[in-house]
Amino acid sequence: MTTKTSKADQIGEDSLNKVTISCWRHRNILDLDDFSQDEISLVFEIADSMIDILSRKVKKVPTLRGKTIATMFYEPSTRTRSSFEIAAKYLSADTVSLDAAKSSVAKGESLIDSLRTLQALKVDVIIIRHPSSGAPYTAAEHLNIPIINAGDGCHAHPSQGLLDLYTMKRNLGSLKGRKVVIIGDILHSRVARSFIWGTRFFEVNLVLCGPPPLIPEGFKDMIGRLELNHVTVEHNLNKAVLNADVIMPLRIQKERQQSGLIPSIREYVQQYQLDQNRLYKAKPGVLIMHPGPVNEGLEITREVAYSSKSLIEQQVTNGVAIRMALLYLVAGGENK
């Protein structure tokens, strides 16, 4: 035990070799579109060490001791917020959490003003979730401290994209030639968008499946314009799941029905629910993922969501490791 020093211990001692992080060039984490393959690999390598830490009895390491990390959420969230806060705490950072929806917005304070105040309070990193696409970009333009995007409107959710990709890689090893299907409201999904960017180096065959109003022409045009050659669209779920290695239904928002984009939840369930029958068309060992929270009986049946093939709980654990890795890279201090 004493002879072998794990990467986890190195991180614990805050002495990760500078060379290994030399490819890291981000001040902020806004989306995965500007991540290189090396950077994604680096995040995964550090996340592996974090997984080791998470499996210990005492999970706290002193890496970010003395750092303060603020979460500023303009949208309700339990999972992502607690995942980031727990990640920060396991690294010994202090956390402060602001429920922006209740405080500053109610007083009419602007986004930039609120964030500048946090910066003046000398926090080291701001983690922001906001219902407006692009809000973290506006924030980053006006601030000097690192911003981590924890989800902006329909645009991006980079930590989720990384944890989804990481979970697939840990279970499948190489992703080359694997068929991955995402089902649901692709148009309004920041999870799908970040996942599309994250998977582009891994030679997967990514199939997007949902009704045409939720994967409209503009979205298909984007796939072509940006040469996202690993992505295809299939509106028919029975065809989409054929021989799939991984299937990830997205949470369907009830508002989509209210805004007339789908005729009814009943009809959505008929066409797009992932149930056991549809699973038979996929590869025998197909893996099930879901970004959560799950609407049981809506986009996925309960039996599928909690089957032995489900990675949903692994995704949650991996999410903490990925967020620890991101906080380490952004606030670690070695590479500033």
Which spans of this chain sit near other proteins (rule: CB under 8 A)? Answer: 30-31, 33-34, 110-112, 130, 132-135, 137-138, 142, 152-156, 187-188, 190, 193, 216, 218-219, 221-222, 224-226
Minimum CB–partner distance for residue 148 and other proteins (Å): 16
CA distance 105 to 135: 14
CA distance 181 to 288: 10
List all residues 6 or more positions away from 220 whose beta carbon is below 8 Å from its beta carbon: 233
Q: Considering beta carbons, is residue 31 or 85 the nearer one to other proteins?
A: 31
Minimum CB–partner distance for residue 207 and other proteins (Å): 17
Q: Considering beta carbons, is residue 8 or 147 the nearer one to other proteins?
A: 147
Q: Phi-psi region for residue 247, left (φ > 0), alpha (ψ -120 to 50) or beta?
A: beta
Minimum CB–partner distance for residue 195 and other proteins (Å): 13
Q: Considering beta carbons, is residue 50 or 100 the nearer one to other proteins?
A: 100
List all residues 6 or more positions away from 329 whose beta carbon is below 8 Å from its beta carbon: 21, 24, 26, 42, 43, 46, 335
CA distance 167 to 248: 12
List all residues 6 or more positions away from 297 whose beta carbon is below 8 Å from its beta carbon: 269
Minimum CB–partner distance for residue 196 and other proteins (Å): 10
CA distance 90 to 12: 10
Minimum CB–partner distance for residue 293 and other proteins (Å): 20
Minimum CB–partner distance for residue 150 and other proteins (Å): 15
Q: Considering beta carbons, is residue 113 or 267 the nearer one to other proteins?
A: 113
DSSP state of 213: G
Q: Considering beta carbons, is residue 52 or 75 the nearer one to other proteins?
A: 75
List all residues 6 or more positions away from 192 whose beta carbon is below 8 Å from its beta carbon: 182, 184, 186, 208, 250
Which pair of tokens denotes residue 52?
Answer: 């080791």
Q: Considering beta carbons, is residue 214 or 312 the nearer one to other proteins?
A: 214
Q: Considering beta carbons, is residue 199 or 318 the nearer one to other proteins?
A: 199
Minimum CB–partner distance for residue 149 and other proteins (Å): 11
CA distance 33 to 200: 9
Closest to 320 (Cα-Cα) out of 95, 151, 114, 88: 88
